[in-house]
C-alpha cells in the first residue's frame, strides 16, 4: 500500500525557517493535509489541500506539493512551534494514511 515518508526529526533556531518533508510516489497528484501535535494534546490541522490554512493558523505556516514530495514550511519559528508534525493523504481505496511524523525541535 501507499507509504508516506517523513524525517524523524528537524531542528531549527528561533526566528529561522523549518522545513518538514513528506515523500510519496506521485504525491503531487494527491491532496496533502498537515497536523501539529504538542505533547499530551490532540492534533491540530495546520494546512489542508496542500497549501490552505484553517482559520486561526498563522501565515507563517505554508505548504507546497509537487511530484514526489510535499513540504510544510514554518517561517520565523517560535518556541511554541515545537511539536510533532504529520502529513496525511487519502487513497482511492478509501484508506486514509498518515506519515510517521516529524519532531520539530526549536533550539
Partner 1 sequence: QVDLVESGGGVVQPGRSLRLSCAGSGFIFSVYGIHWVRQAPGKGLEWVAGMSYDGNNKYYADSVKGRFAVSRDNSKNMLYLEMNSPRADDTAVYFCVKDRGPSIPVTVTSGMDVWGQGTTVTVSS
Binding site for partner 1 (CB under 8 A): 1, 31, 33, 35, 37, 42-45, 48-49, 54, 84, 86, 88, 90-91, 94-101
Query: Cell numbers at residue 40, please?
Result: 499530551
CB of residue 39 to partner 1, shortest distance in Å: 11
CB count within 10 Å of CB 3 equals 10
CB count within 10 Å of CB 70 equals 30
CB of residue 59 to partner 1, shortest distance in Å: 18
CB of residue 33 to partner 1, shortest distance in Å: 4
Query: With respect to partner 1, which residue has the nearer C-beta, 10 or 45?
Result: 45
| DSSP label of 52 | B
Query: Cell numbers at residue 39, please?
Result: 505533547
Cβ–Cβ under 8 Å, residues 18 and 10: yes
Query: With respect to partner 1, which residue has the nearer C-beta, 2 or 69?
Result: 2
Cβ–Cβ under 8 Å, residues 84 and 103: yes
Query: With respect to partner 1, which residue has the nearer C-beta, 20 or 33?
Result: 33
Amino acid at each position: 500500500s501507499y507509504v508516506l515518508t517523513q524525517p524523524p526529526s528537524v531542528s531549527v533556531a528561533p526566528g529561522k525557517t523549518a522545513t518538514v518533508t513528506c515523500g510519496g510516489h506521485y504525491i503531487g497528484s494527491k491532496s496533502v493535509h498537515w497536523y501539529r501535535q504538542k505533547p499530551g494534546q490532540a492534533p491540530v490541522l495546520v494546512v489542508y489541500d496542500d497549501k490552505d490554512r484553517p482559520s486561526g493558523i498563522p501565515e507563517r505556516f505554508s505548504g507546497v506539493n509537487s511530484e514526489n514530495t510535499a513540504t510544510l514550511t514554518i517561517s520565523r519559528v517560535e518556541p511554541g512551534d515545537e511539536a510533532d508534525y504529520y502529513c496525511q493523504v487519502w487513497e482511492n481505496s478509501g484508506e486514509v494514511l498518515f506519515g510517521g511524523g516529524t519532531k520539530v525541535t526549536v533550539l
